Structure 1
Amino acid sequence: MPNLIVAKFGGSSVADYAAMSRCANIVINQPAIRVVVVSACSGVTNLLVDITQFSSVEARLSAFRGIEDITFAIIAKLQQIELISQQVNTLLAQLKAIITQPEHKFTAAEKDEILSFGERLSSCLFSQVLLEKAISACCFDVRQVMHTDSHFGKAEPNISQIKLACSEKLTPLLSQSIVVTQGFVGANALNQTTTLGRGGSDYSAALLAEALNADIVQIWTDVIGIYTTDPRLTEQARCIKEISFDEAAEMATFGARVIHPATLLPAIRQNIAVFVGSSREPESGGTWIAKDVADRPAYRAIALRRSQTLITLKSPEMLHAAGFLTRIFDILSRHDISVDLVTTSEISVALTLDQGGMTTAFSSDIDAALTELSRFCDVSVERGLSLIAVIGNHLHSSQGVTGELFSTLEKINMRLICHGASKHNLCFLVQDAEAVTVIKQLHQSLFAA
């Protein structure tokens, strides 16, 4: 039996009382679970984001009432309503005081403070659900240990400070009760609330597991593990029983939404096994992610990432010229634009940017960067593209692997192909309208047998 498990429950897993009760049973059935990390109840974070964007106090209060409805619907199912109502009302009063400032435009720090209330409310509610099932539990403010920088909206954690704080403040609690805490939320050196970015609850759980020297991180969501491709795209998709860290990292990076890309970093550093399963069907198993796996097939999965932008830069000056690429990437760096895929020829460079999902390459308009690039090369921009990544093992060297794959795609117009840089993926771009068809054809060819 593992000594310590950190379990994270996503928003759909704590959406209402029935969902929380299912999650509580998972905790009860596994004594090694001593830390529970929760997301905000489903829908709450979206309402909080709306509040940060509304200028009208009345519009903010309308969203606030939606949060109250979700929260009090759960409280109504609890037995000890008086105590939990007092705790929740205190939190809601604090939130209301912030959002009812007329004609006030929220700062980045205030936005993070507002967004944190989703997890603060859900952790309070979930700890009460455990208590009413006769389980010793306490609600712990993760801001005491999740130390970050001051990059509001996407704060970077301070690994060494988190480990020290967990040793001093969190570890002593584990022998007494199950600790329920918040994902996504942290605090800077000034004790201002920060957030780790959308989807950061998975990352929070992994960071805490690393700091506590846990054996396993469990990610409980609404799907039964990680699939060979998004099951919404083809009914032939099937759950993967085990997958290596390298493969899972590629899948997360290239669009698989079951797990946040950053989650695997702490797990890899400390060799912590990660389990992904469904809180609705815990008995159905799930996917184990580990350093060593029994089987490493050539093809493991297919990932899809939409909303891709392809930029092609062409100039005769590039031919045999030193420093040309440095010039290009210096401009992109100064405009905070990160690049996904890159291919080059004698006089041109093609690169992709991601405008969607959890790994957004740029948050502002790219026109300024394109204008600067156009001063020394011809620039063309294509949008409405999808990136498809075939994930597997030794794709760069296995005999016959690429031939089998490309024979399936012989009638597909691929705008860019990236192969050889990684042994775990082969990536290409297609038109958005063709993406689902390509996924179905590939999956049929590579996995039907």
Structure 2
Amino acid sequence: MQLKNENILIVDDDIHILELLQRHLQSWNYHTYKAISVKEAVQILRDTKIHLLITDLKMPEIDGTELIKFVSEHYPHLPKLVITGYPSVQDSLAAIKAGVVGYLTKPFTKVELKTAIDTSLKNTDSNTETKELGKQEKEKSYGDIIGVSDKLKDVIQIIERVKDNKATIFIRGESGTGKELVARAIHYQGRFSRAPFIAVNCGGIPENLLEAELFGYTKGAFTGAEKDRNGFFQAANGGTIFLDEIGNASKGVQSRLLRVLQEKEVVKLGAQKAEKIDVRVIAATNSNLKEMIKKDTFREDLYYRLTVVEINVAPLRERKEDIPLLTEKFLFKYGVEYKDRFIKITQDAADILQRYDWPGNIRELENIIQRAVIMCDRIVEVDHLPETLKHTITFPKEALLSLQEVEIRHIRKVLRAVDNNKTKAAEILGIDRKTIRQKLSN
């Protein structure tokens, strides 16, 4: 008998009940997913298209009621069927209010379960709202990248073009913008996703060790090299190596890296023979490499080898429409980790997050949400946010002018008012014509 198209998620902290439900569902040829906790269930919901949720109510840590509320908010068209061994009028009313379509009390018969499932799934195949919701959810994320801004969509479009080849890619962006997430998306969304992905922070490894860590070494190559050892490039063979903060690499490392890119081979420290490798190189930095080239601290030929394809990751202040989704992600992550519950945020607190300019970008936002979750009970309020956020005034770009720029604008404004008569303008401004010329020529 052919498997049905529906995916059914069953959630219960009783392993025996899970196995019983799975056996029944498999006998009716449904695809089944099991979760022994709400945490596991939410992860499955985020990664898999589910057509029916079957959940117990009484569970340790986060209970089934919280799961139903979460699903009602984030997947409102997903049918929910409750199975419980501790029925109560209060639980029943709360479940019905949250949109539960079925409510079974343990013990139940196989026939009762089948009837409840059939009723819950009735007409879901033709439910265009459910399909549209799935499309909308997919559009909000790409791998671990979350957002809906046009600047983020531009990044995703480039990723789609490069993910299935091994062209060298260079990612620009301020610290904390998510450059490593972009690199991981390139790797894991493409056809090389089963191959290794090795991330290397070039700024976090001492300069005298970076060469050995990247390219490996032979026994006796230097003091302490007691045996042959492969480097990160050998470990990434067949896959992707991500070189973060490449601007921190010494000239010696740069020379060796240039050879890797040109010859597709690596020579271990202390070795004479080169080893062929097949590795996609993705590099990133928040440094200005062109300025470093002028100062002769970064090789120009390596720069052009690295920048075959360039991806610019915009700072968070330029894609503020992504803040609500990122906030929701971190509230869920740290709410479950620290509080064993789903944490919400008040509108006033969310508005403050939206107004702030985020010099530390996504990393700063995550840090602040993490702290706020620790400090709150169930809801993040304004008082749980740092004072620096609450008292920050965001000036429009045109207001951030130097004194000299303000002065020049005022002079030009006066000149326009007197039809460019410099003598009259000088009288009004209390300066001479020569001063006007000097200031406008600077």
Q: Report the TM-score range of the alignment, normalised by the length of the smaller protein.
A: under 0.3
**Comparing both structures, which one devotes a greater share of its residues to strand?**
1
Rg bigger for which structure?
Answer: 2
Taking structure 2 as the reference length, the TM-score comes to 0.21
The structure showing larger relative contact order (alpha-carbon pairs under 8 Å, at least 6 residues apart) is 1
Taking structure 1 as the reference length, the TM-score comes to 0.21
**Comparing both structures, which one devotes a greater share of its residues to helix?**
2
